[in-house]
Amino acid sequence: MRLWKILPRPYLIRPGVEISGVAVGSDGPRQSCFIVPIYVADGEGVDETAWGVRPTSTGRPRLVANSDPNVGWIMRLSTYTRPGKAVGQILVVENSKGGFSRLGYGVAGDAEGMMRWEEALVEVQGSVDFILLCTGPPDQLIRVTGTDIQQEELVGDWPEEDWLRIDDPRIEKFEGGKYGIEEKDDSNGQRPEENG
pLDDT tens-digit series, residues 60-111:
999 999 998 888 999 999 999 888 888 899 999 887 756 789 999 999 988 7
In a domain, 42, yes or no: yes
C-alpha to C-alpha distance for 52 and 13, rounded to whole angstroms: 22
Closest residue by Cα to residue 49 from 100, 3, 103: 3
Long-range contacts of 10-17 (CB under 8 A, 24+ apart): 11/35
Contacts with 154 (C-beta within 8 Å, 6 or more apart), sequence order: 131, 138, 139, 140, 141
**Contact present, 21 and 76 (Cβ < 8 Å):** no
| pTM exceeds 0.75 | yes
| Predicted confidence (pLDDT) per residue in 23-69, tens digit | 999 887 788 999 999 999 887 789 999 999 999 988 899 999 999 88
Percentage of the chain modeled with pLDDT above 90: 49
In a domain, 56, yes or no: yes
In a domain, 180, yes or no: no
In a domain, 90, yes or no: yes
194 by DSSP, 3-state: which?
helix
Q: Given pLDDT bands bounded at 50, 70 and 90, which one contains residue 160?
A: confident
In a domain, 135, yes or no: yes
Count how many domains the chain has: 1
Instruction: Provide the b/e sequence for 25-57 (b: ≥16 CB within 10 Å).
Output: bbebeebebbbbbbeeeeeeeeeeeebbbebee
In a domain, 57, yes or no: yes
- What domain range includes position 20? 2-167
Average per-residue pLDDT in the chain? Answer: 83
